[in-house]
Structure formats: C-alpha cells, structure tokens
Copies of this chain bind each other. A is one copy, B any other.
Amino acid sequence: MSGTSELCLGDLGERGIQEHVLRPRYEGTEGFGDDSALLGAVNAPSELVATTDSCPTPLVNLLREPDLYHAGWLLATINLSDLAAAGAEPLGLVAGYTLPKTTTVTSFERLLDGVDDCCAAHGTKVVGGDIRDGAVPQLTATAIGRCVPGSRLRRSGARAGDRLLLAGSPGYLWAAALLETGQATLPEPDRSEVWHRACRPMAQLKAGRVLAATGLARAAMDVSDGLFATVRSLCEANGLGAAITEEFTLDERPASVARQCGLTPFALAQTWGDWGLVVAVRAEDVEVATKALRGEGVAAQEIGTLTSDGELTRGTAPWRGIAQERFSASSWHGGELSTLITDVLGAA
C-alpha cells in the first residue's frame, strides 16, 4: 500500500484494512473474502492434521530492533514445525492477528510479509485469517496438513533400545544472541549468516515427510521448548527414559561461537529456536535414516538411546535440563536479556 506509511490501522478501520492492505495482497487466493477460506482439494485418501500456536516476542527482536517481520516468520515456523513432527504435507495456514489500533500500516505489512515469506519458503501459503483490535498484540495461527493414511508420526510408538536422532542444525539462535551481546565474534559474512538463520528458522517439513514416507521413524517431536523438554515429553509419551550423549556436533559457525564462550557444543545444541526434530528410530535403522535425511539436505545426528528405566541421563549423570513452560514462574518468557542468556546457557 503506497502513500500510507504514517497511517495506523485505526485510521483505516476494518473495511479499509480489508480493501487497502489485505485485498491487494491476497485477492489471488481462491476463497479470499469468503466466510471460510479454501484450503484446497484433497483427492486421495488422507489423514488430516491441524495445529495451532501463538507467537511469543521473537528473541531476535529483543536483540535488535522490533520488527514484526520476524514475529510473522516465527508464527508460521512454529505452526509448520508441528506439521513436520507429524510427517504431514502442509495444506495452508490461517492466521489470527490482534493488534492495537495504533499499529502502523507499514509494520502490519511487515508482519504479513514475514508470514507470507515463511509460508512460501515452505511451499505453502496463508489461505485466510482474522484481524481484530486489542490493547495487547497477539499473533496466532493454525496450520492444516495431510498425511498418507497410516504414515502419520506421533510422539508415541517408540521402544526401549530405539535411538534418538536430532534432525536439523541446532544452536543458531543462541549463537546469534551471544554474537549480538558481544560475547563472541565472527567475521562477515559468517556473522550475518548466523543472524539470518536465527531470524528465519525453517520447520523440518522435508525431514518429517521423508521419515513418514519411509516408515523409519517410530516417534517424533519437534524441539519447540528446548531439547530437554522435548526428550522428556517423548519419554513420557512412551513410558521410557533416555540416555543422552554429551557429544554433539554443531555447524562450524555456532561451534566457533560456543568455543569462544567456553561452552560445549551440547550447551548450544540443547537450546531452542532452531526447530529441529527429535526422532526415535530402531537401532538398525540409524544409518539409513541418517542417510535419508542427508539426502534431503537435512543434517542428522544420533543423540542417545531410549531406555526402559524411566530416567533421563546425560553422559553418566542425571539430566536436569532447561525447559520453557507456560503458566510457570520459571519460564524464560519475559526475562531480561542479560539474565536470559546466563539462565539458558549457564546451566548447560
């Protein structure tokens, strides 16, 4: 929308927003403007899945300036990552935005750009949504996907002795935090590359789909609240424990950041924000699953074994890791950035 950079959403009103912002952007989407959005046609037998999640303030916005683009990108990734954990193909996203009337049209368009760009990067799109004014911004979305019947991945289905794989490249978001706060340095373009990855995390849709299609995964879950929370939830869903290795591999750039900060690779790998998948596979399938993932351009490493004793261990000691939790005073949400980094990485 040109010539409206100073305008706020409250100046346009709902009908103005619809006409000047949303229609030009989405009118090519069939079903735009109807009461219900069109997700698309499904012609083969399918299991349909859905997931809904709202978006916290992105860490990258605390590190640099606020920019709703990053919140939009993260909103889409959070939801698509849950489809990835199910091994589903995305059919589309519906978004719901609550925004103050004082939100500028320009920043609203940054938000939409972030959601749309992220969806496009994952081969899907926004099909519909809802916008409402409110004192406190809140961004929610629902992603809908389809699975080939019988192939849907779940948290349950793993057995003792199964190996845990981490699909994806961990450590970028918190490496960016360490770089931005001056605790490590990298030359350009390495530093910018880390920042870019931190701002535009990708859901592991390819990984999920190849694991679902091949039947190699017995259970899967995405790393939304940190590795500890993920492994603990996966264990609980299966009545199992896990023995996690201390040997983690990071890509070279986050590895360099970790070294400069005196952190182990594990310390960075157990954080969140990179949207990897933790996958349980039979011991004899580790090699072929790893190969299948790498064939899709997805990094994969074995990080431990599921055990029958119900305990979580790391190396030889009990593992008491960090986990985000909502409705909890110990949640990291809302913490100060300086203590946040210590809290998240100091205990590792």
Residues of A within 8 A of B (CB): 9-10, 12-17, 31, 33-43, 45-54, 81-83, 85-86, 88, 91-92, 94-96, 98, 101, 127-136, 138, 140, 142, 144-145, 149, 152, 154-156, 221-222, 237, 325-329
CB–CB B42/A48 < 8 A: yes
**Which B residues are CB-close (under 8 A) to A96?**
52-54, 96, 140, 142
Alpha-carbon distance between A138 and B38 when the two chains are bound, in angstroms:
25
**Which B residues are CB-close (under 8 A) to A326?**
13-14, 131-133
Alpha-carbon distance between A237 and B12 when the two chains are bound, in angstroms:
20
**Which B residues are CB-close (under 8 A) to A328?**
10, 13-14
Q: How many copies does the complex hold?
A: 2
CB–CB B37/A51 < 8 A: yes
CB–CB A34/B94 < 8 A: no
Alpha-carbon distance between A279 and B313 when the two chains are bound, in angstroms:
62
Q: What are 10 A-B contacts defined by CB distance under 8 Å?
A: A14-B328, A34-B156, A35-B86, A37-B49, A42-B48, A43-B45, A50-B144, A52-B96, A96-B140, A101-B327
Given pairs A48-B144, A54-B98, A94-B142, 6 additional interface contacts (CB within 8 A): A10-B327, A14-B328, A35-B155, A37-B50, A53-B130, A54-B132
Residue of B nearest to A8 (CB): B327
**Which B residues are CB-close (under 8 A) to A154?**
31, 34
Alpha-carbon distance between A222 and B144 when the two chains are bound, in angstroms:
23
Residue of B nearest to A39 (CB): B48
**Which B residues are CB-close (under 8 A) to A132?**
54, 326
CB–CB A35/B222 < 8 A: yes
Alpha-carbon distance between A323 and B267 when the two chains are bound, in angstroms:
55
Alpha-carbon distance between A7 and B175 when the two chains are bound, in angstroms:
40
Q: Which one of B83, B130, B136, B327 contacts A52 once the chains associate, using CB atoms below 8 Å?
A: B130
Chain B min CB distance to A332 (Å): 13
CB–CB A12/B327 < 8 A: yes
**Which B residues are CB-close (under 8 A) to A142?**
50, 52, 94, 96, 142
Residue of B nearest to A49 (CB): B36
